[in-house]
Each structure stands twice: as C-alpha cells, then as structure tokens.
Structure 1
C-alpha cells in the first residue's frame, strides 16, 4: 500500500513503467519539492486518492493515462466527477495520452475540470503546467 505523502505531491496514474519513470524523473529534476505517487491503473489511483483525501492530503496535480487495464482514464474521471472531487479538491487534473481518436478528444473537451496533452511530458510543458 502506497504511503500518503506529508507534503505537496503529484499523483501519476499510468500502467506504463517507462512512462512513469520518465515523468517521475522530469518532476524531480524541476526540484519544486513535490513528492510523487505512482499508481498503475485507475482503480489503484482511486483507492489511493480516497485514502489521501480522507486525511486531507490533496494532490497538487493528477496526471492520468486514458488507456489502462482494470479502470481506464475515462472511468477514473467519471468516478472523480461523480464524487464531486473537482469542486471539493480542485487539483489540476490532466490526461496524458497518445490517443488521436477524435471521439476521445471530444469526450475530453466536454469535461470541464480536465485538460489533456500528448505523452510523454516534456520539461517545458511541465514547467508551463506547474506555472498555472
């Protein structure tokens, strides 16, 4: 079971270990003091988030992949919204995806609490994102 960080943290939800390694490295290299929590699918991400929010450990940002086993990114976002998390815990939620499927992009455009960008993160995109 993943420990809940004591300080500011970023939640990465992605089933690809190479992508997680890259994103963790980018975030650490910026040296902004964020701890990083990684979950391998939407289900473990939701379970972690529920435990964290129960002790008021709200993530600074959440990066979530769309295509994952068990619970995908869309189901994660659906549950996140259903539980009123965007209002109660206004973290920056960003979908990182390789999808160019117009339906996926239309669905993401319709979700008002989420942004999306292509994978993988780059240093400049991460700097821009964290400057919001």
Structure 2
C-alpha cells in the first residue's frame, strides 16, 4: 500500500512537479491550491480515515497562508503527529521560527531538487 502525501501550494507548476516527483516514487498524492482548500482536504481524509504520512505546504498563499494552515492541521487530533514540511521561497530565520512554532517539522527552500525533497521526505516517512 502506497503512503499518502498531501501537498498544498498555490503554484500550479509546483503542484504538478510535486505530484510527478512523488507519484514516480510510489506515493499517493492529494493536492490543494491554498491553505483553506488544504484544510478541506484534510477533513475529507479524516472522514475516510486516511492518514497522510506527510503534509507539504507553501507559506505564501491566498485565502489561508501556510502558517495558518499548519496551525489548523495541528489542531485536528487526527493529524497532530503528521510531519509537516514547509516548501517555500521564504528563507528568513524569523519565518522559519514562526513555522516551527506553528508545528512544521522541516523547511525546504524553493527551487528544490527532486533528490533533496525525497531525501527529506524519507527522513520523516518510515
């Protein structure tokens, strides 16, 4: 059975790239275009009792940014221990601390290399 990864990013190109990279490695992928849609997808997964092995989120998105999305995801007990990787153009320490405080387990700066992304995922996904 393949492991599930939820990817939340407002960039259609990044979503397509993540989907390609992850499905090629055997992961099942659920995509969302912003934090608000990400929360909706998590609620659907909870209904189906499908727990993702990891959540990947951007920071700068419309409607609900990544920091708020992380906070909302961590409020849901079903996803409380799901590792969240931030994948963003943001690299300032202040933003990283904000993400960590919200519950992010890791931080990767765009543009990303496929090997780098998969290496980080493999550290968290057993």
* TM-score after normalising by structure 1: 0.80
Does residue 99 (structure 1) correspond to residue 90 (structure 2)? The answer is yes
In structure 2, the partner of 1:84 is 77
Q: Is the 8 A contact 1:20 1:38 kept in 2?
A: yes
Match for residue 9 of structure 2 among 14, 19, 25: 14
Q: Is the 8 A contact 2:34 2:61 kept in 1?
A: yes
2:60 counterpart SS class:
coil
Shift of 1:55: 2.0
CA distance in 2, matches of 1:47, 1:104: 25
1:94 counterpart SS class:
strand
Aligned residue runs from structure 1 range 20-99, under 5 A: 20-30=15-25, 33-87=26-80, 90-99=81-90
In structure 1, the partner of 2:106 is 115
Give me the CA root mean square deviation. Answer: 2.0
Please say which structure displays the higher CA radius of gyration: 1
CA distance in 1, matches of 2:118, 2:54: 13
Count of residue pairs brought into register by the alignment: 123
Change (3 A) 1:74 1:97: same
Change (3 A) 1:8 1:49: same
Structure 1's unaligned 5+ residue stretches are: 1-5
Runs ≥4 residues deviating over 3 A: 84-87
> Normalized per residue, which structure has more helix?
2
* TM-score after normalising by structure 2: 0.84
Change (3 A) 1:112 1:46: closer
CA distance in 2, matches of 1:123, 1:57: 25
